[in-house]
Structure 1
Amino acid sequence: MFDLYYRQQGIQGNPPVVLLHGLFGSLENLGAVAKVLAEDFSVYSVDLRNHGRSPHHEMMNYELMANDVIRFMDSLNLTEAVLLGHSMGGKVAMEVALQAPDRVSGLIVADIAPVRYPPHHHQVFAGLQGLALSAITSRAQADKELAAYINEASVRSFLLKNLVKTSASGFQWRMNLSAIAKHYEHIMAGQSSESSYDKPVLFIKGGSSDYILPRHQDAILSLFPAAGVKIIQNAGHWLHAEKPALFNRIVSQFLRSILIAQ
């Protein structure tokens, strides 16, 4: 059985919300919104396959990751839930909604569209795969070596959260870096379906991000005809971390609107 690692917050029995993180991330990435939502909802923060503390598998694509989430919901007897996903997690959430619309009562997609994106993590993979883990003695050393490939200290810090100590002088990746790199083209893929998901959907875009663009509108509406969009100005792709109060308020308002409609 492929059991995803998860953390539950809030009162069980309240309406369930499942949170799905992005590429190279883990459930901790959406911790701020999870804490806020736990006041009114039963919140399940999930590590997707090959990420965080969830199992590793040599195969990785959106159909498989969506099936993982559906099996996770089955294991907890969650017949239906709202899904909130950021970036890659948003694509997983969209895939679940398209595969099993009866299991998804609403959908929140943070700064991603159901389209294929051009590969753009080459330097990230080069830096991560270039680290000789057997020779790394500290996170500071790893950060210094990674800086030759990645200028932004915040990005390096995010990536190095995946680096875990195994002994007094050893490190390893918590994520399955080889599988992620091998199936990177699948991760960049878009969503498709012969039928649409007609329930409430909210896309939240970072105003300074180029992950959701006007040219993506047709693809979004063809799959999610009831979709609306909110833009968080002066925020980039990591909008939930850059503008947490506003992001959390938008999410909470949307969830309340779903409950009122029901």
Structure 2
Amino acid sequence: MSLTITQHTTVTVPTQFVEAANGIRYAYRRFGDASGVPLVLLPRFRGDLDSWDPAILDTLADEREVILVNNRGVSSTSGTTPSTITEMARDLVAFLDALSLTEVDLLGFSLGGFVAQEIALIRPDVVRKLILAATGPQGGPNMHGWRADIRDAVRKDPPGPPELLYTFFKPTVTSQAAGAEYLGRFIARTEDRDIASTLQTRDAHYDAVCDWGIPDHSKLQRLQGILQPTFVCNGDADAMIPPSLSHLMGGLIPNAIVKIYPDAGHGFLFQHHAEFSADVNEFLNA
């Protein structure tokens, strides 16, 4: 166990860099209990090292090593962001190889959940367990792009607190209040924050979202190839990716469990951070 890893929290862990065989210099952070299988977190649309909730990361890091990473072309990682999920998955496999990680758990949030599914399919021997949060399957119904108000909000340059509250949290008093609390935690790190992602990343990510969501019933059969234990979860009012798709994935992935969190939207994990973190730790420890 390395003290240079375990002594840190989300707010204090330094950003590191590693160059992979594909020539990309990846920005990443790692901390927590390094005695077991590490948990690699794959972020949302336009997400970076600082997009995660410290309340979640610090709870997870109490029981395992947590690794955050920016994929190719995102924020402080070099290169140009690709516009397909398969390319993103292969780039992250190159990152895992660069750190000599031969077994990991994956937590993919939103677009990161698309990428996590693809990694589990193309490099199944590396992935021990899988958490798919607020995400959907390739070719699934009702996910070919986002409705206009959501699309305009998340593509704003840059998106600010009003856009995050509108797109990630349910329009109820309780959900919006939880969203405001998340925004306070979101800015807790004041030093060595990640740089903003570019418009090239924004456009490539949205192209990838649309490509992944082209309706194609035959693509759903790929989920039967995900044999890892899988925790599928979402909020009951996700305006970006319908929670019905969580049930669809739960029915097609052979060893999956599904949980839908109440009074919550796309950012359910931030709203229900204590419950979600406990659920993830229990699932990974089982």
Structure-1-length-normalised TM-score: 0.75
Structure 1 residue 213: Cα displacement: 3.7
Residue number in structure 1 paired with 2:202: 180
Residue number in structure 1 paired with 2:271: 242
From 213, 227, 247, the counterpart of 2:256: 227
Q: How far apart in 2 are the matches of 1:102 and 1:37?
A: 23
From 209, 216, 219, the counterpart of 2:238: 209
SS of the aligned residue for 2:40 comes to strand
From 54, 71, 74, the counterpart of 1:48: 71
Structure 1 residue 220: Cα displacement: 5.1
Q: Which amino acid aligns with 1:230?
A: K
Indicate how the Cα distance of structure 1 residues 155 and 46 shifts in structure 2: closer, same or farther if over 3 A, else same: farther
Q: Are the aligned partners of 1:125 and 1:181 in contact in 2 as well (CA < 8 Å)? A: no
Q: How far apart in 1 are the matches of 2:236 and 2:223?
A: 31
Q: Are the aligned partners of 1:6 and 1:45 in contact in 2 as well (CA < 8 Å)? A: yes
Residue number in structure 2 paired with 1:64: 87
Q: Which amino acid aligns with 2:279?
A: I
Q: Are the aligned partners of 2:224 and 2:254 in contact in 1 as well (CA < 8 Å)? A: no
From 22, 32, 45, the counterpart of 2:44: 22
Structure 2 runs not aligned, ≥5 long: 1-22, 168-179, 187-194, 214-218
Q: How many residues align?
A: 225
Greater relative contact order (CA < 8 Å, ≥ 6 in sequence): 2
Listed one character per residue, the Cα deviations across residues 26-75 of structure 1 (whole Å, up to 9, x for unaligned) are 12222332211111211101122332322241533111111121111111
Q: How far apart in 2 are the matches of 1:187 and 1:227?
A: 23
SS of the aligned residue for 1:101 comes to coil
The yes-or-no answer on 1:38 pairing with 2:64 is: no
User: Any residues of structure 2 matched to 1:33-112 within 5 Å, and which?
Assistant: 33-57=56-80, 59-112=82-135
Residue number in structure 1 paired with 2:144: 118
> What is the identity percentage for the equivalent residue pairs of Structure 1 and Structure 2?
28
Q: How far apart in 1 are the matches of 2:35 and 2:26?
A: 21
Q: How far apart in 1 are the matches of 2:244 and 2:165?
A: 29
Residue number in structure 2 paired with 1:139: none
Q: Which amino acid aligns with 1:214?
A: S
Residue number in structure 1 paired with 2:10: none
Q: Which amino acid aligns with 2:84?
A: N
Structure 1 residue 204: Cα displacement: 1.1
Structure 1 residue 118: Cα displacement: 2.6
RMSD: 2.9
Q: How far apart in 1 are the matches of 2:63 and 2:50?
A: 19
Structure 1 residue 206: Cα displacement: 0.7
Q: Are the aligned partners of 1:19 and 1:27 in contact in 2 as well (CA < 8 Å)? A: no
Structure 1 residue 93: Cα displacement: 0.7
Q: Which amino acid aligns with 1:12?
A: A
Indicate how the Cα distance of structure 1 residues 196 and 44 shifts in structure 2: closer, same or farther if over 3 A, else same: same
Indicate how the Cα distance of structure 1 residues 126 and 231 shifts in structure 2: closer, same or farther if over 3 A, else same: closer
Q: How far apart in 1 are the matches of 2:46 and 2:201?
A: 12
From 20, 24, 27, the counterpart of 1:5: 27
SS of the aligned residue for 2:125 comes to helix
Structure 1 residue 125: Cα displacement: 6.7
Indicate how the Cα distance of structure 1 residues 234 and 216 shifts in structure 2: closer, same or farther if over 3 A, else same: closer
Q: Are the aligned partners of 1:85 and 1:110 in contact in 2 as well (CA < 8 Å)? A: yes
Listed one character per residue, the Cα deviations across residues 188-214 of structure 1 (whole Å, up to 9, x for unaligned) are 314663861111000111122252443
Q: Are the aligned partners of 1:60 and 1:180 in contact in 2 as well (CA < 8 Å)? A: no
Q: Are the aligned partners of 1:197 and 1:225 in contact in 2 as well (CA < 8 Å)? A: yes
Indicate how the Cα distance of structure 1 residues 153 and 95 shifts in structure 2: closer, same or farther if over 3 A, else same: closer
SS of the aligned residue for 1:36 comes to helix
Indicate how the Cα distance of structure 1 residues 177 and 249 shifts in structure 2: closer, same or farther if over 3 A, else same: same
SS of the aligned residue for 1:5 comes to strand
Structure 1 runs not aligned, ≥5 long: 129-141, 162-172, 258-262
Structure-2-length-normalised TM-score: 0.69
